[in-house]
Amino acid sequence: MKVLVIGGGGREHAICWKLAQSRHMPEIFCAPGNAGTAMHGRNVPIAANDVAGLRAFAQQEAIDLTIVGPEDPLCLGIVDEFTAAGLRIFGPNKAAARIEGDKVWAKKLMREAGVPTAEARIFEPTAQELVQLRQAHRGDDFEMPESVETGYKMALRYVSTRDEGVVVKAAGLAKGKGVFVHDDPADALLTLEKLMVHRELGDAGTRIVVEEILIGREVSILALVDGSTIYVLESAADHKRLGEQDTGPNTGGMGAFSPSGLLTEKDLEIIEREVFVPIIDAMRRMEIEYRGVLYAGMMMTAGGPKVLEFNCRLGDPEAQPLLMRLKSDLVDVINAVIDGTLEDIKLEWDRRSSLCVVMASGGYPGAYEKGKEITGLDDAAAVENAVVFHAGTRRVGDRVETSGGRVLGVTALGGDLQKARTTAYEAVRKIAFDGAVLRGDIGMRVSGR
Ligand SMILES: Nc1ncnc2c1ncn2[C@@H]1O[C@H](COP(=O)(O)OP(=O)(O)O)[C@@H](O)[C@H]1O
Ligand SMILES: [Mg+2]
C-alpha cells in the first residue's frame, strides 16, 4: 500500500518512522518532508497547504491512505477535498477542524456544550465591517471606518473596566503567535489595537476572544475520535517556553515526555466526561462528525480542569514520545478511526517512559540562520533506545543541514522518566551544529504559574 504523510516537522518524521514498522509494509511518501522522513520513503516537494497540488499528487500516485500532520491543511479543508475525490484520508474535515482554526467559534461551542473553560468575551466585526476594514487597509492613509471603530471600541471599553489581567486571543490560526497573556490589562489595550486596527495578524486577528487568566498546571490530553467512540491516549506534556525553568518566549515546543505523571486516573475520567464527550456531542448536534485526533489544551485550576483550546491534530513534539510508546500498528489504528471501528481495537502501549529533547537553531523563535551542517547524527542514532527525529533539516549532497527553527527532536525510551532523560541527553551530546539551542531540563518540572 502507498501512504502519504503531509507535513515536514518532527511529528511527521515520527509518523513516517512508525509507519515504517507497520506489518502492512507501506511505501511511504512525505510532502514536503525533511532529511529524516527521506530515510523511510520519498519526499515530495509539495507544500503542506497546497491542497489542490497534494490532491493531484495523491490521485496520480494512487495513494491508498493520506495522513495529515499539521493544522493548516485540515482547516483549509484538505479532508473534504480528498474525500470528494474518493481518496482515503485521516483527519477531521473542515467543519470539524474549525475547533482549532477559529477560537471564537470554539469558545461558543464550548459554551453550548457546557464544557469548562475560561470566562470570556467575544469581539468580532460583522462580515460587512470586515470588508470595510480590509478596504481601508489597501490605501496608504489608513482611516478606521466608523462602523468598525464601534466594535474595537467595545473591546477597549471592556478591557479598560477590568482590574485583573486578561488573555487576548486572535481567533484565527497564528502559528502560536496569536495569544497574549497580559497580567496588566492596560497592556492589553495595545494588543487590541495591533490586532484589530493594524491587522498585524491579518484576518486571523480581527475577531478576538478576551478571557480571564487561568492559574494552574497546564496539560495536554489527546484523544482519537472516530465519529462516535472517543479513545483517550496515554498522557503527554510539553515544554513551550524557550528557556529553562519555563522562562523566555513561547515556542512551538522545546521538548515533551510521556506519560506526563501529572494527572490521576480520576482527572482523566473527569476530562473525558466533562470535556470530550460533551464537545463531540455538541458537534454531532450540528451534524459535524469528528474523525481524527482531538487535542485538549487544559489548565488544571483550583476549580477543576478547564479548556484553554482545542487542536485538531497531534501535537508536535508530543507526537514523538507518544508514537515511540505506541506498540499497536499505526495503519490499523488510523484505519479504525476512518472506518468508525475504534471500539473494536485495543491500543497497546509500551509501559516505559519516553522523552523528547528539541534542538533548535540559535535565535529561534525569532530570526535564525539556516544551512548549518549537522554532525553526529549516526552516533546519536546508535545510542540504544534513542531515535533522532528530524524537523527543520535537509540533505545537501552527503551532509545534513539545518533548515528550520526546530531542527531535531532527540527521543528516547527508558524504564522510567529519569532513564529516558539520561538516554535522550546522551544522544543529544553526540550531535552538534553551529548555534544549537536546547533546554537541559526537559521532563524535570512542568510549569504552574
Ligand atoms: N486563559 C488563559 N489563562 C492562562 N494562560 C493561558 C490562557 N489561555 C492561553 N494561555 C497560555 O497561552 C498559551 C497559548 O494559548 P492557546 O490557547 O493554547 O493558543 P495557541 O496554542 O493557539 O497559541 C497556552 O499554552 C497557555 O500557556
Ligand atoms: Mg496551544
Nearest to 102 by CA among 187, 198, 169: 169
Residue of minimum CA distance from atom 20 in ligand 1: 176
Distance 294 CA to ligand 2 centre (A): 13
The range of the structural domain enclosing residue 182 comes to 125-206
- What is the CATH number for 306? 3.30.470.20
Q: What is the pLDDT of residue 60?
A: 98
Q: What angle do CA 326, 330, 333 make, to 5 degrees?
A: 100
Residue 144 has pLDDT above 70, yes or no: no
Give the pLDDT score at 447: 42
The whole-chain average pLDDT of the chain stands at 94
Is 36 among the domain residues? Answer: yes
- The DSSP bridge pattern shows strands 353-360 and 393-396 to be unpaired
Cell of 49: 497547504
Cell representation of residue 73: 491543511
Residue 79 lies in a domain: yes
Q: Which residues contact 124 (CB under 8 A, 6 or more apart)?
A: 104, 151, 171, 206, 207, 208
Q: What is the pLDDT at residue 448?
A: 41
The ligand placed nearest to the CA atom of residue 164 is 1
Distance CA 290, CA 28 (A): 26
Specify whether 334 is located in the same domain as 251: yes
Number of structural domains found in the chain:
3
Provide DSSP, 258-321: ES-S---HHHHHHHIIIIIHHHHHHHHHTT---EEEEEEEEEEETTEEEEEEEESS--TTTHHH
Residues framing ligand 1 (Cβ under 6 A): 118, 167, 176, 178-179, 181, 211, 213-214, 218, 240, 297, 308-309
The verdict on residue 56 lying in a domain is yes
Looking at the CA of 249, name the nearest ligand: 1
Residues 352 and 408 in one domain: yes
**What is the CA 272 to chain-centroid distance, rounded?**
20
Global pTM value: 0.94
Query: Which of 183, 215, 309 has most ligand 1 atoms within 8 Å of its beta carbon, as the pocket-test mutant?
Result: 309
Mark whether 174 and 232 lie in a shared domain: no
Q: Once rounded to an integer, what is the mean pLDDT over residues 287-293? A: 98
The mean per-residue pLDDT over the stretch 243-261 comes to: 93
Average pLDDT, integer, range 180-209: 92
Q: Does the N-terminal peptide bond of residue 185 adopt cis geometry, omega within 30 degrees of 0?
A: no
First to last CA, the chain: 48
Regarding whether 227 and 138 lie in a shared domain, the answer is no
pLDDT tens across 49-95, in order? Answer: 999 999 999 999 999 999 999 999 999 999 999 999 999 999 999 99
Number of H helices, E strands in the chain: 15, 21
Q: Are 186 and 232 part of one and the same domain? A: no
Return the residue whose CA atom lies nearest to atom 23 of ligand 1. Answer: 176
Residue 289, pLDDT > 90, answer yes
111 alpha-carbon distance from chain centroid: 23
